[in-house]
Structure 1
Amino acid sequence: MTTLNGVALAGRDGYWDVTLEGARIAALTPSEGQGGGLLLPCFADAHVHLDKTFTAARVPSRPQSLHEAIELMAGDKPNWTAGDLRQRAARGLRRAFANGTKAMRSHVDWTEAGVPAALPVLRELAEEWRGRVDLQLATLTPLDDMPEVGARIAQEIAGTGAVLGAFIYRNEDIPAKLRRVFDLAETHHLQLDFHVDEGLDPEAQGLDAILQETEARGMAGRVLVGHCCSLSVRPEGAVADLLGRAAEAGMALCTLPTTNAFLQDATPDRTPRLRGLAPIHEARAAGMPVMLASDNVCDPFYPQGDYDLFDVYRMAVLAGHLDPAGWLDSVTETPARWLGHDFALKAGAPADFIHIAATGLDDALNRPRAARTVWRGGAPIPETSGDLA
């Protein structure tokens, strides 16, 4: 039996003694001491791209828009052999694990008729990492390609726990194409995950079409929308109506502060005015589950990052004027629940958590280099957040 004395627990007042028995938390009791550090639940990263990761060094130039990044990424795809994909994706999983992530959803580009090379590689890695980083896959296909390849994709992933996804931004005939995507999800009992309105055009209304289908089909708890940058430049009244309906329909929102800050309103030799952060305060107030995620790491879409959700959260606290204590669940319990897990620190739960050498959450944010130790199964893991990849 091990006891961590006088620790601060995120979301709870005072200090606590946390008793571990084997691989589980036996008890949390108020402590008379303090100075034992800060405990956080493990992270859940609900939107990453393991197939693209760690390619930034191979890309010849810095993109100035989302579409330039897409073109640069396409230019690197001839390098995506099974060995290359495995090496890069495994590195991402190692970094996520060392930084405290316990569950992850990775998108997989799928634009061709056949199965992409990344899919079997990531399926193998998901099996190898099960219990350390539980990896769920979500296909990612341009909406315009879905009429041709959507049925093949849905059949391939049905029954595997994977998620059906599409990229939507200013496409022609969005409602009709989306109906087909939702038909596939209903037929094959799939969840949906959309990259939608990832730009600063106030006329972009992909989210509106997704919402209409979700409402009409009663698909509460099955539809996640990511990015939604254009909401930041649409009229506030229209946005409030959309978010209220989305909450009622049971949709969730995942915002990606690093990638969007890097790509949105990017013009050479000009300071960006607009950063593309979705209206997360308003979405949460409306009742939507809201989560933050790493998105791209060291690729043309964002050439930095380390699969460190605490770093993403720290950036979002600043960029989004977030209350730190009130928004910690956006990288822990909220995405964990959406991915089918419960990471809450409570008696009887697995002894999986993150220990930071800090007096509390504010202190941890103030000192990003404070020592961090990830505990899994009641013991510290040998890897640390500062290790070389």
Structure 2
Amino acid sequence: MEPDLIIRCFSNPHFGTLMDVGIRDGKIIYLQEHLPGNPNALSAGQLIEANGRVLLPGLIEPHIHLDKAFLLNLMTKDAFSIEQAIASTLELKHSFTSTDIETRSIQVIQQAIANGVTHMRCHVEIDPIVGLIGFEVMLALKERYFNQITLQIVAFPQEGIAKQPGTEELLIQALQLGADVVGGITYQDADLQAHLSTVFNLAKTFNKSIDLHVDFSDDPSMLAILSIIRMTHAYEMQGRVSVGHLTSLGSLPYEEAQVICTAIAEAGIHVMSLPATDLYLNGRGDDHRHRRGLTPVPLLLEQGANVIYGSNNIQNPFTPFGTADPLDTGMLLAHTTYMGSKQDVVTLIEMATTRAAKALELENYGLYIGADADLVLFESTNLRSAFYERVPRRYVWKRGQLVASTVKQTTFYNEQVSS
């Protein structure tokens, strides 16, 4: 069977040689070493000469809030703490409309697609204030962009569950209507165990994964993660629980943190570092030697935990920054966790691809025969330069169909120097 598309002579960190890949009906059907002048080489309806450029599975954005993106210009004052960011968003949320949420979400989605993102997990606010308005927008966008990007929707109770009566009923409605993941937040409700019990019970009832906002603080006594580890085992949810932030863990002494990191790995809990937000809001109470406010990424990796990274927010009270490019987030994490070696770059790329796919429980993802042809070709023949320079994504494919292409052009105007 002949492919519809061949990408010839690409490089990838997990292959020791240049490779060719063939695609048909949205699937990878051929993957072989590139042999110049090979008389048995496949032909195709379309041929892309990669010329040694880096080809990766589509990038993954595993943690983002589309409904809260691009709120900077609507804010009445800046936010400088987690509490202020939550309060500012709560104020703005009263004016959210379907059209407003859709416009801001599409802006992020289109940026992400151009940056090579083929899968995205988005948390959407669900509470009596906004009801299911944002959730309904996400369902529509999931269908609208189905052929360009895969959206996973997390039903997220930002304001707490018990704290906002009626939220649990709305979460149930969202799950009945098609939410993919049950969300939770450990620092909003006074009764942590009741909050987590609600989340885990909903996940079991609807057979959904769990994605929690956890221990977003630099207070080392804030350790909801210990209850989450216990409940993950009790509910037999190993491999189906993700936690975002987890920054309190970074303030613990090494030996104590090491024990918890090992337990996280043993429970199969996926840790999502959100450095753009965590670095911006944490450590502000320190008057010297400011803490970085991150979960201890290298230690978690050493203990075998699956650690990935996400943008979290794009230009809003929690994070005034953001470009919807996962590699911008990865580069920030690399700087602040001392991950600058040759192997570190491979790990950081995996955190935005195969490691993230594991956390999102994606099927048919990757660069192998039978996988969906969700691919991105970088304008670089070197993985380190592709990552460090966040080079243009020359082509982005979703199920074998071209969905974005970016070309960067620079013109230099030099003065003529007479001899």
Give the alignment's TM-score, normalised by structure 2.
0.84
| 8 Å contact kept, 1:170–1:204 | no
Pick closer, same or farther for the CA change 1:187–1:316 going to 2, 3 Å: same
In structure 1, the residue matched to 2:385 is 363
Match for residue 210 of structure 2? 192
Work out which of the residue numbers 290, 310, 329 in structure 1 matches 2:350.
329
What's the secondary structure of 1:307's corresponding residue?
coil
Which of 291, 299, 302 aligns to 1:282? It is 299
Change over 3 Å in CA distance of 1:18–1:179 after alignment to 2: closer
Matched, 1:101 2:104: no
Q: How does 1:151-162 map to 2 (within 5 A)?
A: 151-159=168-176, 160-162=178-180
Pick aligned residue for 2:165 from 142, 148, 166: 148
**Residue 117 (structure 1) aligned to one of 133, 145, 167:** 133
Structure 1 residues 144 and 125: alpha-carbon distance in aligned structure 2, compared to 1, 3 A threshold: closer
Is the CA contact 1:64–1:267 (under 8 Å) kept in the aligned structure 2? no
2:360 to 339, 353, 360: 339
From 27, 32, 37, the counterpart of 2:30: 27
Counterpart pick for 1:16 among 15, 19, 22: 19
Would the aligned equivalents of 1:255 and 1:290 in 2 still touch at CA under 8 Å?
A: yes
Cα deviation digits, residues 147-181 of structure 1 (max 9, x gap): 83353034213342422212122853322442333
Between the aligned residues of both structures, percent identity stands at 27
CA contact 1:4–1:36 (8 Å) conserved in 2: no
Aligned to 1:293: 310
Moved more, 221-230 or 180-189: 180-189
Residue 52 of structure 2 aligns to a residue whose secondary structure is coil
1:222-253 per-position Cα deviation (integer Å, ceiling 9, x unaligned) = 21111000000012222222222222222211
Residue type of the alignment partner of 1:347? I
Alpha-carbon displacement from aligned partner over 1:168-223 (angstroms, at most 9, x marks no partner): 22853322442333233333333221101111001101111211222222221221
Letter in 2 for 1:232: G
SS at match of 1:381: strand
Alpha-carbon offset, residue 130 of structure 1: 1.7
Structure 2 unpaired stretches of 5+: 37-49, 409-419
Measure, in 1, the Cα distance between the counterparts of 2:376 and 2:162: 42
- Which region of structure 1 is more displaced relative to structure 2, 12-21 or 229-238? 12-21
User: Which of structures 1 and 2 has the larger relative contact order (alpha carbons within 8 angstroms, sep 6+)?
Assistant: 1
For residue 395 of structure 2, the aligned residue among 370, 373, 377 is: 373
Q: Hey, what does 1:201 align to over in structure 2?
A: 219
Which one has a bigger Cα radius of gyration?
Answer: 2
C-alpha spacing 1:261/1:180, structure 2 compared with 1 (3 Å): same
Partners of 1:166 and 1:90 in 2: CA distance: 25
- Structure 1 position 271, deviation (Å): 7.9
Equivalent residue letter for 2:336:
A
Q: Find the counterpart in structure 2 of residue 133 from structure 1.
A: 149
| TM value normalised by structure 1 | 0.90
- Count of matched residue pairs: 386
- Compared CA separation, residues 170 and 207, structure 1 to 2 (3 A): farther
Q: Does 1:256 align with 2:274?
A: yes
Q: For residue 51 of structure 1, report the CA deviation from its aligned partner.
A: 0.7
Contact 2:223/2:249, CA 8 A, preserved across alignment: no
Q: Return closer, same or farther for 1:229/1:18 CA change in 2, 3 Å cut-off.
A: same
1:48, CA displacement in angstroms? 0.5
Cα distance change of structure 1 residues 170 and 111 upon mapping to structure 2, 3 Å threshold: closer
After TM superposition, the runs of 4+ consecutive aligned structure 1 residues lying more than 6 A away are none
Describe the SS at the equivalent of 1:219: coil
CA, structure 1 residues 35+283, in 2 after alignment: closer, same or farther (shift >3 Å)?
same
Provide, for residues 96-139 of structure 1, a one-character-per-residue CA deviation record: whole Å limited to 9, x for no partner: 11111111111112232772321111111111112321111112
> Aligned residue for 1:215?
233
Q: Which of the numbers 363, 368, 373 marks the counterpart of 1:351? A: 373
Q: Is the 8 A contact 1:98 1:385 kept in 2?
A: no
Greater Cα shift, 187-196 or 1-10:
1-10
Cα distance, 1:266 vs structure 2: 3.4
Give the Cα separation in 1 of the matches to 2:26 and 2:161. 48
Moved more, 165-174 or 237-246: 165-174
* Inter-partner Cα distance in structure 2 for 1:77 and 1:155: 21
Contact persistence 1:155–1:188 (CA under 8 A)? no
Matches of 2:357 and 2:407 in 1, distance apart?
A: 21
Name the Cα RMSD after superposition.
Answer: 2.7
* Alignment-derived partner of residue 236 in structure 1: 254
- Shifted more, 83-92 versus 110-119: the winner is 110-119
Aligned-partner Cα distance in 2 for 1:24–1:256: 32
Q: How far is 1:308 from its partner?
A: 0.8
